[in-house]
């Protein structure tokens, strides 16, 4: 496995100007709770955006809104110049172009790791099973768990499961990847192996939105850091700038709490 | 008790016909029940309403009334349920193909009634599948139908199988009503014949009928216990 510090060169990598993901005036309520307040955000192709903030600030909701796992109440979200379609076939097609990695892995419990990875390509993309299988094995090799292909999710460690989940998302050859706290449910010694995979993805130019508490990853792999609090996008800055000179009180407060120990 | 020996062929024939009725009704109930369960969780509101209405009607009506509507209502509507005369199936279940429609009516009534309970058992199984499973399936672009077929239902079956078994056991016992709605020669109708037409003593005859039902229900119950025990170990 590569060392985590190797990711330093990633920041400022290849990004093109046109946004792949764009949120305009997005609002979302959970009952009386205003979880996303007039959020504007655009993510360019190849850009790695890390979203941080205290819990309950709306980071996960923001991430889940991008592939409409969480429908929004007002505003628009466009992906690859197309507004998110309503529930149905068109939305399913769009979701197949956006990879998603969850905090709790959510691997299909009744399928082997290999079947988890090939299900989407075979059923959604109608790829030939043999071809999907070959590609899946390459992906599992890439994330370092090819030898676990025939096992069931419950037989793997958390870190291995999360790497399998990343492989499952990559198998759809997505245009962007969303990570919703991918390391929060992991034992500390397994965080590194997942971050390594994510770092290598970032280095390869994948467009990524990553909700995380891993400040090291934010520092080394992100092009931009978004700080959210109380449903609002409070800061949007390059990582060096954000960690060295946070402008808002909320961000200063947050950073002082997490970086002191 | 000599009636059990003297008329063994009647009991055996009755058992065989009741067994056929149960196989057909259970198959129908599982198919209709799964369909209704899918309707009840579908994203399309009218389908949900139909599913809910179905369960409300059939779960809350006495089976006797459902049997009554099948045996008298369907003919009044001009139907002899001929759609159940499925070629191939009638060669195994010969009663399905004959002109007298009461066996088909009994299959329909028993299947429709049981389907409401099957639906609820499957739905509780679906609810036992962690929501993250369906969410991950949606996130890779599976449609609602694919999601159910490849991800949710295969897992829901596992936790639904024991309650489903109980539903089927109840259905086997309920099938005793068929003999009172025109089906000739099933277990309960045979008992009636032996006692009222041939004057055989009631208690031995009904012991024979009970044995006929127990032969079907007890092994099924034991099988379910096995499945449950294995599941409990696997869950640990």
CA distance A85 to A88: 8
Least Cα distance to B29 among B170, B125, B184 occurs for B170
Does the CB of B82 have a partner CB in chain A at under 8 Å?
no
Domain that holds residue B91: 2-235
Is the confidence at residue B29, as pLDDT, over 60?
yes
Asked if residue B106 lies in contact with residue B21, where contact means CB atoms within 8 angstroms, the answer is yes
Least Cα distance to A218 among A231, A227, A230, A207 occurs for A227
The pLDDT confidence band at residue A4, using thresholds 50, 70 and 90, is: very low
The pTM score is: 0.81
Looking at residue A5, what is its pLDDT?
39
pLDDT above 70 coverage of chain A, percent: 93
Average pLDDT over residues A123-142: 96
Q: Which CATH number is B72's domain given?
A: 1.10.3720.10
Contacts of A124 in chain B (CB under 8 A): 140-142, 146
Does the CB of A169 have a partner CB in chain B at under 8 Å?
yes
Contacts of B154 in chain A (CB under 8 A): 110
Does the CB of B141 have a partner CB in chain A at under 8 Å?
yes
For the CA atoms of A249, A254, A256, A259, what is the dihedral angle to 10 degrees? -150
- Residue found by looking up tokens 């779960």 in the block: B59
Beta bridge partner(s), residue A99: A177
Beta bridge partner(s), residue A52: A227
CB atoms within 10 A of CB B114: 29
Asked if residue B56 lies in contact with residue B87, where contact means CB atoms within 8 angstroms, the answer is no
Question: Number of Cβ pairs closer than 8 Å across A and B?
Answer: 66
CB–CB of A95 and B151 under 8 A? no
Average pLDDT over residues B40-65: 95
CA distance B38 to B32: 10
Residue A167 host element (H or E): helix A158-170
The pLDDT confidence band at residue A88, using thresholds 50, 70 and 90, is: confident
What is the spatial order of strands in the sheet that A82-83 belongs to? A33-44, A19-30, A74-79, A82-83
Contacts of A87 in chain B (CB under 8 A): 43
CA distance A251 to B123: 46
Mean pLDDT of chain A: 90
Q: Which of A1-10, A88-97, A166-175 has the lowest mean pLDDT?
A: A1-10
Is the confidence at residue A3, as pLDDT, over 60?
no
The total number of structural domains in chain B stands at 1
CB–CB of A102 and B137 under 8 A? no
Looking at residue B92, what is its pLDDT?
86
**Which residues, other chains included, contact B89 with Cβ-Cβ below 8 Å and sequence gap of 6+?**
B96
Is the confidence at residue A9, as pLDDT, over 70?
no
Q: Which residue of B has its CA nearest to A122?
A: B142
The pLDDT confidence band at residue A71, using thresholds 50, 70 and 90, is: very high
Residue A232 host element (H or E): strand A232-237
Looking at residue B85, what is its pLDDT?
86
Give residue-wise pLDDT tens across range A101-115: 999 999 999 999 999
The pLDDT confidence band at residue B98, using thresholds 50, 70 and 90, is: confident
Comparing B91 with A61, the larger pLDDT belongs to A61
Q: How far is CA A102 from CA A150, A184, B55, in A?
A: 22, 10, 36
Average pLDDT over residues A5-17: 45
CB–CB of B135 and A69 under 8 A? yes
């Amino acid at each position: 496995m590569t060392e985590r510090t190797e990711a330093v060169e990633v920041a400022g990598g290849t990004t093109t100007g046109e946004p792949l993901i764009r949120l305009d005036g997005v609002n979302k309520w959970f009952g009386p709770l205003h979880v996303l307040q007039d959020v504007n955000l655009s993510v360019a192709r190849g850009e790695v955006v890390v979203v941080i903030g205290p819990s309950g600030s709306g980071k996960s909701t923001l991430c889940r809104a991008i592939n409409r796992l969480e429908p929004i109440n007002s505003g628009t979200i466009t992906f690859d110049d197309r507004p998110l379609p309503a529930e149905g076939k068109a939305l399913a097609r769009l979701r197949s172009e956006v990879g998603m990695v969850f905090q709790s892995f959510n691997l299909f419990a009744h399928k082997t790791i290999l079947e988890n990875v090939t299900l989407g390509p075979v059923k959604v993309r109608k790829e030939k099973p043999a071809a999907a299988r070959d590609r899946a094995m390459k992906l599992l090799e890439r994330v370092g768990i090819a030898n676990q292909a025939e096992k069931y999710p419950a037989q793997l460690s958390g870190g291995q499961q999360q790497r399998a989940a990343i492989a499952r998302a990559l198998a759809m050859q997505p245009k962007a990847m969303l990570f919703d706290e991918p390391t929060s449910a992991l034992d500390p010694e397994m965080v590194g192996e997942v971050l390594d995979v994510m770092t290598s993805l970032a280095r390869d130019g994948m467009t990524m939105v990553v909700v995380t508490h891993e400040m090291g990853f934010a520092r080394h792999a992100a092009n931009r850091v978004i700080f959210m609090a109380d449903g609002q996008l409070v800061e949007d800055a390059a990582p060096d700038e954000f960690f060295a000179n946070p402008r808002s009180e909320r961000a200063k407060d947050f950073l002082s709490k997490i970086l002191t120990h | 008790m000599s009636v059990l020996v003297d008329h063994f062929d009647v009991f055996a024939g009755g058992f065989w016909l009741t067994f056929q009725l149960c196989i057909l009704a259970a198959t129908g109930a599982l198919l209709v029940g799964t369909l209704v369960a899918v309707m009840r969780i579908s994203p399309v509101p009218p389908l949900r309403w139909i599913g809910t209405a179905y369960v409300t009607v059939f779960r809350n009506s006495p089976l006797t009334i459902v049997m009554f509507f099948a045996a008298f209502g369907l003919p009044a509507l001009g139907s002899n349920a001929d759609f159940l005369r499925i070629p191939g199936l009638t060669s195994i279940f010969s009663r399905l193909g004959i002109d007298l429609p009461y066996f088909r009516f009994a299959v329909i009534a028993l299947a429709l009634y049981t389907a409401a309970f099957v639906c609820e058992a499957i739905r509780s199984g679906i609810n036992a599948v962690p929501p993250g499973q369906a969410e991950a399936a949606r996130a890779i672009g599976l449609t609602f139908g694919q999601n159910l077929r490849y991800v949710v239902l295969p897992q829901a079956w596992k936790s639904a199988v024991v309650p489903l078994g109980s539903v089927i056991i109840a259905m086997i016992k309920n099938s005793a009503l068929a003999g009172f709605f025109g089906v000739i020669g099933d277990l309960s109708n045979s008992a009636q014949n032996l006692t009222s037409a041939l004057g055989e003593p009631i208690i031995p005859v009904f012991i024979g009928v009970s044995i006929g039902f127990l032969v079907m229900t007890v092994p099924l119950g034991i099988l379910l216990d096995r499945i449950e025990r294995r599941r409990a170990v696997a869950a640990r």
